[in-house]
Amino acid sequence: MSAGFAKSVASKLLGKEVEITQGVIHEVIMYHEREIQRKTVICGILKDVLEECFVLEITDSGITADVYINSWSVQTIVELQKGLNIFDIYNPDERKNTK
């Protein structure tokens, strides 16, 4: 996505916890009659936007680090909220069955 996209996202989501997908398939879950492709998701606080780069603050097991993501590789960004996440957006039928 372009620098314009990155700046637009920053104006709405800077300082908030977000989920980002780059469109890459992380895993495929096979069922008897269908399969679900889950996309790779990066979660963190949108700390900064530098031109075409998103800076996310990631915390795992008590360790905090910054992750720099090329905005051109981003497919979707969602503010992390209770009851809604990337999985729900890409697999709405599954959400109905699991919640």
CATH number for the domain spanning 8: value is: 2.30.30
Could you read off the pLDDT tens digit of each residue along the chain, which spans 99 residues? 566 777 888 889 999 999 888 877 767 788 888 777 777 788 899 999 988 889 999 998 899 999 999 888 888 888 887 766 555 555 555 545 444
- What single letter denotes the amino acid at residue 31? Y
Q: How far apart are CA 62 and CA 74, in angstroms?
A: 26
**Domain limits for position 62:** 3-98
Whether the Cβ atoms of residue 87 and residue 38 lie closer than 8 Å to each other: yes
Residues constituting the chain: 99
Query: How many structural domains compose the chain?
Result: 1
